[in-house]
Amino acid sequence: MNAAARLVHQGVLSRQLVLSQFFNRRQAAITLLVFSVLFSALAVIYVTHVSRILHANYQQNLTEQHQQTVLHGQLLLERSASMMQARVQKMAENKLGMVIPDHQSVVVVHE
């Protein structure tokens, strides 16, 4: 017999005390495991929620980036078109000697 069994058999260590210690440790271990599982489950839920929010923000930022790229392209086209008109007008004035007529000298012909 081992020492604990001998003490229980002799009555020095009561069975109820040994069993209560065993169940207390066992219950504490089970309680700790249950709380660990619950904490882990809540952590998974929280991380999933944060991940979904971040993914939604990422998609929104991609959409906004695409819109900004399209707007940038449109502004570049507008700038090049306005520069083209100004360049043509400048060349017409300098090389060909053309000028914009006065309002009185403009004649509108209706058919």
CA distances (Å), origin 83, targets 61, 97, 99, 100, 105 = 32, 20, 18, 18, 27
Question: How many structural domains comprise the chain?
Answer: 1
Q: Is 102 part of a structural domain of the chain?
A: no
Q: Is 78 part of a structural domain of the chain?
A: yes
Q: Is 101 part of a structural domain of the chain?
A: no
pLDDT of res. 62: 98
pLDDT of res. 61: 98
pLDDT of res. 65: 98
Q: pLDDT tens track of the chain, all 111 residues?
A: 566 666 556 665 566 666 666 667 888 889 999 999 999 999 999 999 999 999 999 999 999 999 999 999 999 998 888 788 888 888 888 888 888 888 888 888 888
* Containing structural domain, residue 66: 3-94
Contact 85, 100 (CB under 8 A): no
